Structure 1
Amino acid sequence: MLLLSVKAGYGHHSTAKAIMEYFEENGHQCHMLDIFDYVNHRLGNSIQDGYLLSTKYLAKTYAKAYGKLTQKDEPYDRNSLVSIFSRFVSKKLEKFVAEYNPDLIIGTHSYAGVCISILADRAAFDCPSVGIVTDFTVHPFWESTFLDYYVIPDELLEHEMQKKGIAKKKLLPFGIPIREQFVKKNDPIEARKKLGIENIPTILIMMGSMGYGNIKKILEQIDTYPKDFQVLCVCGTNKKIKSVVDECDWNKKIYSYGFVDNVDVMMDAADFIITKPGGLTTSESLAKGLPMITMNPLPGQEDRNLNFLVNNGAAIMVNDTYPISEAINQMFACPWRVAMMEESVRHLGKPNATADLYNFCCAKVLAKSTLI
């Protein structure tokens, strides 16, 4: 199996790795390729750096451009700059794909789907193709793809995908594939023991791998709430904010962490999560049955993830007029509200997304493969 992704944020690669791990554990040979990095390493880094810089420092411009692109329902004209550049990139990939000769090809980014569609037209491979939508919205460029199947986060996105010209029979509402450790919610008491923390109400704070947002301000607003609880605060690679958190004198027990590899255990230990609404974190939280307080979305897809979660009752949105102190109060003082959120989370969570994708591929796609 060949997985194609794009280094724009971390969710696309993480989804590809989750799929690859599951297939390899079941005896399949897999290869993962970052499209732009393969074409030119500097180009790959530039795409990643450009994405991070634009979402951080040019948020309004990025949001406007993303919004304009999402309005497009028709495929790009062959003579457009997007089409010309896509044909150039695909040409660079053609030899590798033809020589690898996959039994299945999966794209975890819409632009990967574009390249796969062009390669199919050039007969670079002769196998089924699958696209993975990694947010709770339909990204730009999916309308310019022609794949055999599309995995979407929820059946509620079917209407939007059909507007982009993608037939319902191609849509697989399995959910965003996640790693196996997020498949079920384990006992919170045992999880707290593993983490070496008390068995009291626990809040998990995660603001992406780079620790976006004013985490100190978040903690300050919840630290005075009159209830006994503890906080697991994941600062990711943001060493500066971790240092700031560590230096403060808090009323609550605040456990700060840098980059961690046991988020699944932390989710097991938590009663709810405060997070920015990235597609992968959202999927993992839903799979773990965690109600969410969402804030600080990156422009574009995360804005739309937030809208999806709030409109479907799985999250509370924090903004300038609704502070996090009010959201915390809802979680602790309104059991009926929490019950509603938990019910919505159960409906939206897709803990078996990776397994469902694998089983579908084995039954429908790889049935004639010698790998089965």
Structure 2
Amino acid sequence: MEALILSCSTGGGHNAAAKAVQACLSRKGHHAILLDPYSLQGQEVADKVGSTYIEVVRRVPRLFGVVYKAGEWYTKLQERFPHHSPVYLFQRKSARKLRDYLQKSQPDIIITTHVFAGEMLTMLQNQGMKLPPVVYIATDYTSIPFTQEVSADCYVVGHRDIMKSFEAAGLPRWKILPYGIPVSEAFQNRRSRPDACKALGLDPSLRHVLLSGGSMGFGLDGMIQLLLPVLNRHPEVQLLVLAGSNAGMRARIDAKYTTG
């Protein structure tokens, strides 16, 4: 089987899930290509899209929050007055490039882990292009804005408890599959708790809580503030914080909270 996996570099989760799918398909003997559709306009364009998104989230998170809320409002507006969003229309040039690529490559299945790529595929379908089965994999634990603009044969979501948020976005329940978010096979290699603590330099007598802000370390400071009262009441609990690739956030957290 020839599989095409589409992802974009606006955060690491989309690419991590895409790479996990690619690795799994390859192990099973299929040929799987991972592609950032923006790279069809040149790698500079793909890098610019990814870096701009990441810089906004890291440097002005409040602005990102405002844009996200605006996206939620726009989604609700679309339910009453169906129309294409500016985000959908932004994909027109990339969709044309993707059309040319698909006409040459002829994959048997297309898997996308990003809403932007999903909108490109939907645009091609709306223009009359016949596509192979399309699978949309959601890498967030909720239905993010503009998910309803992605037309796919099935939608893989992280857990059955979040299916309702995708139904609320207008997706058919029978197309929503609560299979979880794909992860690397490396996570299947289990260690005993004492061995894991020893490898990480952790005190095995303590209980550990892991807090992750994703690849960009988003929202960590606020979450730590919420957890501090609980941690102060339970000295036997140690909080472990993952800041992803956000070195600046890690430095700020180290300076503000690290003890000993």
TM-score by length of 2: 0.77
Displacement of 1:9 after TM fit?
Answer: 1.0
Once the two structures are superposed, the pairs formed by residues 212-231 of structure 1 within 5 Å of their partners are 213=220, 227=235
Q: Does 1:12 align with 2:14?
A: yes
Counterpart position of 1:2? 4
Q: Does 1:175 align with 2:192?
A: no
**Aligned partners of 1:237, 1:62: CA distance in 2, in Å?**
18
Aligned CA distance change for structure 1 residues 239 and 142 (closer, same or farther; 3 Å): closer
**Aligned partners of 1:131, 1:194: CA distance in 2, in Å?**
37
Counterpart position of 1:98? 103
Whether the 8 Å contact between 2:11 and 2:215 is mirrored in structure 1 is: no
Counterpart position of 1:321? none
Displacement of 1:70 after TM fit?
Answer: 1.9
**Aligned partners of 2:167, 2:34: CA distance in 1, in Å?**
29
Q: Does 1:110 align with 2:112?
A: no
Aligned CA distance change for structure 1 residues 245 and 160 (closer, same or farther; 3 Å): closer
Counterpart position of 1:77? 83
Displacement of 1:230 after TM fit?
Answer: 6.2
**Aligned partners of 1:142, 1:207: CA distance in 2, in Å?**
22
Counterpart position of 1:267? none
Q: Does 1:28 align with 2:30?
A: yes
Aligned CA distance change for structure 1 residues 244 and 137 (closer, same or farther; 3 Å): closer
Q: Does 1:155 align with 2:160?
A: yes
Q: Does 1:192 align with 2:197?
A: yes
Displacement of 1:33 after TM fit?
Answer: 0.8
C-alpha distance after superposition, 1:170-206 (max 9, x if no partner): 1111121222233476421222244455532253454
Aligned length, in residue pairs: 246
**Aligned partners of 2:137, 2:18: CA distance in 1, in Å?**
9
**Aligned partners of 1:84, 1:111: CA distance in 2, in Å?**
10
**Aligned partners of 1:243, 1:11: CA distance in 2, in Å?**
23
Displacement of 1:88 after TM fit?
Answer: 2.2
Aligned CA distance change for structure 1 residues 163 and 189 (closer, same or farther; 3 Å): same
Once the two structures are superposed, the pairs formed by residues 334-349 of structure 1 within 5 Å of their partners are none
Q: Describe the SS at the equivalent of 2:141.
A: coil
C-alpha distance after superposition, 1:87-112 (max 9, x if no partner): 32200111112211111101101111
**Aligned partners of 1:84, 1:104: CA distance in 2, in Å?**
24
**Aligned partners of 1:14, 1:3: CA distance in 2, in Å?**
12
Aligned CA distance change for structure 1 residues 108 and 188 (closer, same or farther; 3 Å): same
Displacement of 1:234 after TM fit?
Answer: 4.8
Counterpart position of 1:89? 94
**One-letter amino acid of the counterpart of residue 58, structure 1:** V
Displacement of 1:46 after TM fit?
Answer: 2.1
Q: Does 1:143 align with 2:143?
A: no
Whether the 8 Å contact between 1:77 and 1:83 is mirrored in structure 2 is: no
- Deviates further, 89-98 or 226-235: 226-235
Q: Describe the SS at the equivalent of 2:5.
A: strand
Whether the 8 Å contact between 1:98 and 1:124 is mirrored in structure 2 is: no
TM-score by length of 1: 0.56
Q: Does 1:61 align with 2:63?
A: yes
Q: Describe the SS at the equivalent of 1:161.
A: helix
Aligned CA distance change for structure 1 residues 2 and 198 (closer, same or farther; 3 Å): same
Whether the 8 Å contact between 1:111 and 1:142 is mirrored in structure 2 is: no
Whether the 8 Å contact between 1:110 and 1:141 is mirrored in structure 2 is: yes
Once the two structures are superposed, the pairs formed by residues 199-278 of structure 1 within 5 Å of their partners are 199-203=204-208, 204=210, 206-209=212-215, 213=220, 227=235, 234=242, 236-237=244-245, 241=250, 245=254, 250-251=259-260
Give the RMSD, CA atoms, in angstroms. 3.4
**One-letter amino acid of the counterpart of residue 110, structure 1:** V
**Aligned partners of 1:97, 1:13: CA distance in 2, in Å?**
20
Aligned partner (choices 37, 40, 58) of residue 38 of structure 1: 40
Displacement of 1:41 after TM fit?
Answer: 2.3
Aligned CA distance change for structure 1 residues 135 and 179 (closer, same or farther; 3 Å): same
Displacement of 1:52 after TM fit?
Answer: 2.0
Whether the 8 Å contact between 2:207 and 2:236 is mirrored in structure 1 is: no
Displacement of 1:167 after TM fit?
Answer: 1.0
Displacement of 1:129 after TM fit?
Answer: 0.6
Whether the 8 Å contact between 2:4 and 2:111 is mirrored in structure 1 is: yes
Counterpart position of 2:139? 134
**Structure 2 portions without partners, runs of 5+:** none
**Aligned partners of 2:65, 2:252: CA distance in 1, in Å?**
31
Q: Identity, % of aligned pairs? A: 26
